Amino acid sequence: MNKMDLKNTLSKIKKLSRHLAVLEDTHIREVLYAIADGLEKEMGKILTANAEDLKKIDESDVIYDRVLLNEERVKAIAHSVRDIAGYDSPIGVVLEQRRLDCGLELSKVSTPIGVVGAIFEARPNVVVDIFTLCFKSKNCCVLKGGSDSAASNEALMAVIRGALGDLAGVVELLPNNRELVAEFLQADKYVDVIIPRGSQSLIDFTRKTASVPVIETGAGVVHTYVDESAALEMAKRIIFNAKTSRPSVCNALDTLIIHRSRLSDLSSICDDLANADVEIYADEESYAALEGKYEKLFKVNDFGVEYLRLKMSIKTVDNLDEAVDHINNYGSGHSEAIITGDKNAAEKFMAAVDAACIYQNASTRFTDGGVFGLRAEVGISTQKLHARGPMGIKELCSYKWKLVGEGQVR
């Protein structure tokens, strides 16, 4: 595909978005069920394509688990598609209604955004997740996946196109061409919004290159603050889970912040992390508290790092205000937590920290659309306009104002 082909493709998908907006929901539901069936029927082809991708990745690389598909994961994707198929349509919902003084009947009604662009890395399931949510909310979508999962992405897209039939033009999977991607990100005449999912470098590239409006998702520099009144066993359990349960995801812990009065408990807090082979990058005071007690201990070079692996940093603070300042300075606005027995401290932390999801005495690993009851998600937005936190199907909707009159003039 060259630049001219891209322009023609995007022009066609923009026109189709207006037809999709009035498509019967029963037809949408039938297509989605057909996709779910197709994923299970074509399991062999999908896993063969995935194996082709995995050959190029070292098993020790954090990317390997993100790209990996197996029978269980493909069945889970199919289950999610069936779940979304059964949703009530989010389109045409009356959000607000009233009669104006002039007699006009005013209503605010949910509508599709139109054409949603998504650029993402590694995870092939995103192809199905984003298409399914877009299609159910009557949005066309243009997808650009990473080279690590190129064969898997194509195999999944083949299932989608097969189920769409004559509607296949409502989705497009772009090839791996950096020049073409830049053109796509600047196609504001045809694409209504771009959603990047992946590393901070991908998000930065998208934000700096795009003239299309961008909803930033994915990057998570996540902190947990152990306050002076924190219960030790609770802190140990939460920190271990937040760091080790799945270190390659965006809601995993990156920096432990500890009140100076609790440095004597730091070795105990880190005992289980040592057994999980977590590397610790400590500031001067926490390094001194762990020296000789923790094997994989290093001095920190910088904070604000999203590790996405079994690594974490430690910052020592004098008080809650210093912890909040550190988070607001180094965090990405994703997920932050406090462990405390002090209700006032918890309330102040939750009010002062600037992030999409704030936790009191719980692991940050709960930041997930499914856990929040949104079921499938497009991503986790770290910004403040339109959507924040896990983005479900409702966040793929805009709205319009409808006014019905009887000849009124102004």
Indicate whether 282 belongs to any domain. Answer: yes
Contact 13, 169 (CB under 8 A): yes
Residue 70, pLDDT above cutoff 70:
yes
> What is the CATH classification number for the domain harbouring 296?
3.40.309.10
| 3-state class percentages of the chain: helix first, strand second, coil last, to nearest 5 | 45, 20, 35
Instruction: Say if residues 349 and 228 touch (Cβ distance below 8 Å).
Output: no
Question: DSSP letters along 269-326, please?
Answer: HHHHHHHTT-EEEE-HHHHHHHTTT-SSEEE---S-----SSEEEEEEESSHHHHHHH
Please report, to the nearest 10 degrees, the dihedral formed by the alpha carbons of residues 60, 63, 67, 73 taken in order. Answer: 70
Mean local confidence (pLDDT), 43-48: 98
Residues 243 and 156 in one domain: no
Q: Is the pLDDT of residue 4 over 70?
A: no
Q: Decide if pLDDT at 344 tops 70.
A: yes
261 shares its domain with 333: yes
Q: What is the DSSP letter of 160?
A: H
In the sheet that 335-339 helps form, which strands lie side by side, from edge to edge? Answer: 297-299, 279-282, 311-317, 255-259, 223-226, 335-339, 357-360
Residue 250 is part of which domain span? 223-366
Domain count, the chain: 2
Sequence-ordered list of residues with C-beta below 8 angstroms from that of 226, at least 6 positions apart, any chain = 235, 239, 256, 257, 258, 259, 262, 265, 269, 339
pLDDT band, very low/low/confident/very high, at 307 (cuts 50, 70, 90)? very high
Torsion of CA 16, 20, 26, 29, to 10 degrees: 80
- The pLDDT tens digits of the residues spanning 317-337 come to 999 999 999 999 999 999 999
pLDDT tens digits for 347-363? 999 999 999 999 999 99
Rounded CA separation 186/211 (Å): 5
Contact 306, 254 (CB under 8 A): yes
Amino acid, res. 52: E
Please indicate, yes or no, whether residues 348 and 309 belong to a single structural domain of this protein.
yes
Backbone angles phi, psi at 196, to 5 degrees: -85, 140
199 part of a folded domain: yes
What's this model's pTM, rounded to 2 decimal places? 0.87
Confirm whether 410 is domain-assigned.
no
Q: What is the DSSP string of 94-122?
A: EEEEEE-TTS-EEEEEEEE-SEEEEEE-S
Residues in CB range of 128: below 8 A, 6 or more apart:
35, 39, 77, 80, 81, 156, 160
373 domain-assigned: no
pLDDT at position 3: 67
Q: Are residues 212 and 241 in the same domain?
A: no
Question: Do 115 and 255 have their domain in common?
Answer: no
pLDDT digits (tens, 9 = 90+) for 81-98: 999 999 999 999 999 999
Q: Which residue has the higher pLDDT, 257 or 59?
A: 257
The H-or-E segment that residue 43 falls in is helix 43-54
Q: Are both 201 and 57 inside the same structural domain?
A: yes
Per residue in 123-139, pLDDT (tens digit) is: 899 999 999 999 999 99
Mean pLDDT of 287-314: 94
104-124 residue pLDDT tens = 999 999 999 999 999 998 889
d(CA 396, CA 168) in angstroms, rounded, equals 20
**In this structure, are 212 and 227 located in the same domain?**
no
Amino acid found at 307: Y
Alpha carbon distance 21, 23 (integer Å):
6
What does the radius of gyration of the chain's CA atoms come to, in whole angstroms? Answer: 24
> What is the DSSP-derived secondary structure letter of residue 171?
E
- Say how many Å lie between the first and final Cα of the chain, rounded: 51
Report for 192-201, 223-232, 366-375: range of highest mean pLDDT: 223-232
Position 176 scores a pLDDT of 84
Are residues 386 and 285 part of one domain? no
170 in Cβ contact with 13 (< 8 Å): yes
- CATH number of the domain at 46, please: 3.40.605.10
